[in-house]
Structure 1
């Protein structure tokens, strides 16, 4: 059980959004969304600034995460994972990533202790969504498509 919880947390920390095909041949590439809302350039710009101010100190200015992010720290907790395509954030549904960001890892993996702060009361829902939109905007199409499927299949909201 502990390993499952650890595996669930390693990938997160987030951000997120879904990719939806425009439908039909020859149409535009996947559109970016977070929790079903479109991500536009204004949201990405806002999210980039908020990420720099609130997330980059742990997750890296280039979303690279902390060194050796898969190995426990001396305090027994996991380092901050990357949010780029080398990490695991894109393996989680939008709502799960949003919940972790807003309410902490324990809201998704009860009892799990993390150094990640709870952003409820610090960032608004719209600001968290903008950060997730920014993170998602950096992922290659393959990761966006995978995460879109995870989000579409996640009906429980966790």
Structure 2
């Protein structure tokens, strides 16, 4: 399957990288690698930060879900993801998503793109 063109521009990725380093890297790792034990419940009963670099499940979620989780935090107490809607604008959240999606291999991005298109139907 040929990968579709990426939706973002390099400017989004550049801005997103700085924002990711400031707001996200402490938990998700500086390259978006996530916690080694991200699939296992922690002692607090919540999941550790997942990878965002294409090796986890972030690509299973359409854009609105990715943005919503950044803005509003982990759904239903599933993780310790805090809300960032009070710290980042919607445009900055878009840039962060561009940064981590830029790390995805073309095959992963193509699969995400199909999920994204189905979510709009």
Q: CA deviation at 1:113?
A: 4.0
Q: Deviations over 1:44-93 (max 9, x none)?
A: 10000100110010000111101211111101010000011211101110
Normalising by structure 1, what TM-score?
Answer: 0.72
Looking at secondary structure, tell me which structure has more helix per residue.
2
Query: What residue in structure 2 maps to residue 24 of structure 1?
Result: none
Where does structure 1 differ by over 2 angstroms across 4 or more consecutive aligned residues? 111-114
Question: Aligned residue pairs: how many?
Answer: 120
Query: What residue in structure 2 maps to residue 78 of structure 1?
Result: 47
Q: CA deviation at 1:149?
A: 0.5
Q: Which has the larger radius of gyration?
A: 1
Q: Structure 2: 5+ residue runs without aligned partners?
A: none
Looking at secondary structure, tell me which structure has more strand per residue.
1
Q: Structure 1: 5+ residue runs without aligned partners?
A: 1-20, 22-28, 34-38
Normalising by structure 2, what TM-score?
Answer: 0.92
- The alignment status of 1:42 with 2:16, answered yes or no, reads no
Find the residue that maps to 2:6 and give its secondary structure. strand
Contact 2:14 2:99 in 1 (8 A): yes
Q: For 2:50 and 2:116, how far apart are their aligned partners in 1?
A: 20
Query: What residue in structure 2 maps to residue 105 of structure 1?
Result: 74
- The alignment status of 1:64 with 2:33, answered yes or no, reads yes
Report the aligned-residue RMSD. Answer: 1.5
